[in-house]
Every structure is written in structure tokens, then in C-alpha cells.
Structure 1
């Protein structure tokens, strides 16, 4: 079953992330699909805020592949954009994170689809216009 949200600003995108973040539990995996500039990192800032992590500390992990944040639960923020193959994700120990005690959020998950557990929640962020984003939440549709 899918659900949808509309955001009309970066602040609303953070708010959507916070709303979802309050429902997350240890072991949850979120896969964020969306073009560059869609608002994936703003969404993660909202999740971080829900976990009592300073959202100002949340940055895109494009060059480091993963950022780890400590809050009421650990937050593991992956960016697979620069990965050439799922093997690179295995080399940084992605499976240990998936089955650990934190929450995993993966940007550009389509680069490592074969490694992602089937119970992961997929969120597609579509750019409607300069400020408006449509969030479609459901299971993997790849």
C-alpha cells in the first residue's frame, strides 16, 4: 500500500521526515529515490530531528559514502551515488548496518538494490516545481 505527501518547501520536507522518523525503530531501512536536488538530505534532517540528532549536523555523505549519527537510535545515512557496484557497499560493511541496532537511510539505493532487504521502505521524491515535492512511500518497485 502506497501513501503520498506533498511538500511545498524545504522546511515542510524536513517536517515530513520528522513525522516519519518518529515512527521508525531499530533495524528499519529507508531507501530514498529522487533526482539531485529533490530534497533527500532535507528529508534525512527531519528523521535526525525525530531521533534527537541536531539536523544542522546532517550533511549529504556523497564523498564519504556514510555518515553515522548518535541519537535516541543510531542513524546511518548512506549515499550510493558514487558507487560503481554493490561490491563497494559490501566493502564498507553495509550488511552489518542493515542488521544492526540503528536506522539506515540510503540515498541512491538503486545502485545497490541486490543488497537491500525486502522489508525496506522505499520513498520516491519527485520534483513538481522549484519548491514542491511529491513523496510516494511504499515497498520496492524496481
Structure 2
């Protein structure tokens, strides 16, 4: 599979894959570890030098919260939200972006570019107080509407 080929192309790095993998990986290289679904991704992210994932809100938020370097492979969506988010991450220096899964021969360069990122750029996008601040803002707005 493409995943096994990518791991073979970068043999000096361990590849830990979380979530389902379509199709069986025949004869996986020794540096490819398929974990399947895991209850908690946090410990895996904490150990990762580089995360490769899509451009969905959940993945991007988890990578930002963990302050990890990121290679973003945005998935095509009807309104292009992952592509637009990926472009913004790239502009901010928070991610290396490739529009699709790279060829095996490209992975050494992709990994090197990802490892060259400053993880502070991604960390800066995480605000642990965002939800309480948003809730407080909504309450203030609602209170103002009630006062009318």
C-alpha cells in the first residue's frame, strides 16, 4: 500500500498509524505500526516528532493542542474548508501541505520539511480558554438581547 511504501521510503522513522487503514498492509515494514482505533490520541501525539493528517477541525485542533509539527493532507470537501484551512496553516508556517498523498520517493523531503517547522507556530493556534471565553461572550450577548 501507499502507507507501507511511505514508511519504507523513510526507514529511520517509526510510523504510528491511528485509526482504520483501508485494505490490508501486506508485508509491513518494521517501522510501520498500525494501532487502529485508540481510546485516547493524546499520548500518541505527545510522543510524535511529526504528525501527518487531514485538514479536519479535530485533527488540526489536536495537533495544535499538542504543539506538534504537522504535515497536512487536506481531504477534498464540497466547500473546500480543508483546503482553505491547510493553505492558512501553510501561510502561518504551522504546517507543510501537500494536496494529496505524496509518492513514496517524495516522503523523505516531506518529512524533512515537516521536521524543520517550528512547533511554536502550531502551538500559537491553540487557546485552551477559547470555549469558556466563547460561552461568556454568548451569555453577554444573550443578556443584552433580554434587556431590550
Class of the TM-score when normalised by the shorter of the 2 chains: 0.3 to 0.5
User: What TM-score results when the alignment is normalised by the length of structure 1?
Assistant: 0.33
Higher Cα Rg, which structure: 2
Higher percent of residues as helix = 2
User: What TM-score results when the alignment is normalised by the length of structure 2?
Assistant: 0.32
